[in-house]
Each structure stands twice: as C-alpha cells, then as structure tokens.
Structure 1
C-alpha cells in the first residue's frame, strides 16, 4: 500500500469520529507487516479522561485481533499543519512500534510529514525500564 492510500484511509475513517465536545475529528490507518489495515477514529466521552484517540483505537484493534507487527501508520485531521499525535498516543506507539516504523502525519490540505517512531519519541519509556535491579 502506498503512503497516499494509507493517508486517504485515515481521512475517510475520521468521518466516523464521535466528537460531540471538541468537534475535532481525527482518523488513523495502521498498516501491519502482513498487509492488513486497521483503522481508528477518536471517540470522546463526557468524562474526557476516558476518551480515546484515533491512533490508539487503530493500534488496540490490531492488537486485539492478534496483529502485533506494524509497518506504518497515517494520521489525519483538519489542522493547519500535519497533525501530530498527543503524548499518550506517542507512548502507546512506542510500546508497539519499533524505531523504524514510519508515521505519516497529514491534514486535509494534503500537507504531509513522515517521521519514524524514533524521531517522534526519542528516549521513550520502554518495558526494559521496568526491569528491577537488585542491589
């Protein structure tokens, strides 16, 4: 799948976003190494802290379906610049993406920026940081 196709998938799924409070629609399309695409949109709740971003919806859908090897993800929103993932999404992405996974950021004006996971969140908190060291 080409980058432009993945971005278009993200733009299309953003129309399904449930955003009665912010009115800020975001879509994400996640490509697995096997070629399957998982899509997600942001879903808000009156208790804001239990809302879930598009990137995490797509990742959690893939993980729950048993897909754990990812190639790239596209994120799209109606922003002036290519939309960056929030801090929570960056942390989740760092848990499941290796440093070389491409992240395509886009807006509805066809402005795009592609970066790697390592560029998006260098020096991220990892599972290995939980290893206890006995003194």
Structure 2
C-alpha cells in the first residue's frame, strides 16, 4: 500500500475541511484491508459537541460503502508538528482495527508512525 499516496490524498482533501470556529484543519486518508482508500475532513458545528473529526468522517464514509476495516491511516494537519488522533477517534479506530498503522503528518518533515494499540492500549471492546 502506497503511503505517499495516502499522505497526498490527506493533504489534498484538507482544503475541504469545514473549520470556521477553531480554524484547525484536519484531514484523514486510510486504506482498508483490501487496499481501498477513504478520506475525510473535520466538520465543525457552532454547537461544538456536534463537530465530527476527520478520522471518524473517513471511517463513516467507508462503512457507508460496506468496508469495516482499517489497515493504514494518515492524519494531516497544516501545523509545524504532527497531531495524533483525539481520544474519541482512537476508540473509534479501534472498533475497526486492533492493529491499524497510524501516521500523523504536518507541514514540516516531522511525523509520527505508530499503531492504534500503542495509542490506545486498553480500548473499550467487546472482549
């Protein structure tokens, strides 16, 4: 699976972020286990609790199309340092993969490359 393609897709879709309140753009792109790509951006709401993160948006798009697996997920923020997924997104990601690779990139050369089980070692699960 082409990680550079995922990075490019996340950066490209970032322009669609709807973040008029925080001004904090977040975009995500991931491959499922079959190699299909899905993308998402954060969509804010004046009632902040209704805001949806980019990672959850991408995952919901994949589920809508019948895919319930995550292989590798890239998160892009136009910031000097990479931003990891929030706690809610970590739990959401773990619902669809216990070992997904999570890469956070930004506008510098810095990046993080880890797995969901390292970001959320004690996820709430059905087992």
Both proteins in one fold, TM over 0.5? yes
Q: For structure 2, which runs of at least 5 residues remain unmatched after alignment?
A: none
Computing the radius of gyration from Cα coordinates, the structure with the larger value is: 1
- The aligned runs of 1:114-129 (5 Å cut-off) are 114-128=113-127
- Partner SS, residue 89 of structure 1: helix
Q: Displacement, 1:96? A: 1.0
Would you say 1:40 and 2:70 are equivalent positions? no
CA RMSD of aligned residues (A): 1.1
Gaps of 5+ in 1: 129-135
Match of 1:21 in 2: 21
In the TM superposition, structure 1's runs of 4+ consecutive aligned residues that sit over 6 Å from their partners are: none
Aligned to 2:101: 102
TM-score relative to the length of structure 1: 0.89
Shift of 1:75: 0.2
Aligned residues: 127
Deviation at 1:36, TM superposition (A): 1.0
Q: Say whether 1:84 aligns with 2:51.
A: no
Structure 2 length-normalised TM: 0.94
